[in-house]
Amino acid sequence: MLLFRKKFLPAIRSGEKKQTLRFWKWRLMRAGQRSYIPGVGRIIVASVEEVQLDDLTEDDAIADGFSSLEELKRELAEIYPAHYSQGRRLFRICFELLPKNETTPLGGVPAEAAVANGERELAHPNQPGFFEGSKLPPQPGQP
């Protein structure tokens, strides 16, 4: 699930906002994953890329629903104070809204198929669908 401030929901619904930037300790979503935005509906994640704050462009700002890169950086600073973003990596998540009549279950690849491919869902261990076995590199502090 991707959570957004209410002020961003109209831009997501209209298709003006097609990406989000998140400071995470590690990648929490993957391309092809289906998810949900409360107040908007189901989405499919098109891509997840680690980026550097200084490498963001005006195109990133527009895809994120902002009129300028300066406005985007101001919003990121408000949402993620320096003490919060410290030690975290910045990820660009691009997504597409799914049609309202989409019936495919959330979560993208079924757990059985992902296990067969040696993958794991990027969910919290306490959430349904989490399983071990990863092609992803180990995270700092984890075996």
pLDDT in tens, 51-107: 999 999 999 999 999 999 999 999 999 998 887 788 899 999 999 999 987 655 544
Q: Is 14 a residue whose pLDDT tops 60?
A: yes
Structural domains counted in the chain: 2
Provide the pLDDT confidence category of residue 119 given band limits of 50, 70 and 90: very low
CA separation (Å) from 44 to 7, 26, 94, 103? 21, 19, 9, 13
More confident residue, 131 or 60: 60
Determine the residue type at 131. Answer: F
**C-alpha span between 64 and 74 (Å, rounded):** 13
pTM above 0.85, yes or no: no
Among 6-15, 29-38, 85-94, 108-117, the minimum mean pLDDT is found in 108-117
Task: Give the per-residue pLDDT at 27.
Answer: 95
Pair (97, 79) in one structural domain:
yes
**C-alpha span between 143 and 15 (Å, rounded):** 40
Instruction: Give the model confidence (pLDDT) of 16-48 as tens digits.
Output: 999 999 999 999 999 999 999 999 999 999 999
**Does residue 62 lie in a domain region?**
yes
Pair (26, 10) in one structural domain:
yes
Pair (95, 39) in one structural domain:
yes
**Does residue 141 lie in a domain region?**
no
93: phi then psi, degrees, rounded to nearest 5: -110, 115
| CA-based nearest residue to 27, from 138, 141, 143 | 138
Handedness of CA 28, 33, 34, 39 (dihedral sign): positive
Structural domain of 131: 109-136
| CA-based nearest residue to 111, from 102, 120, 98, 123 | 120
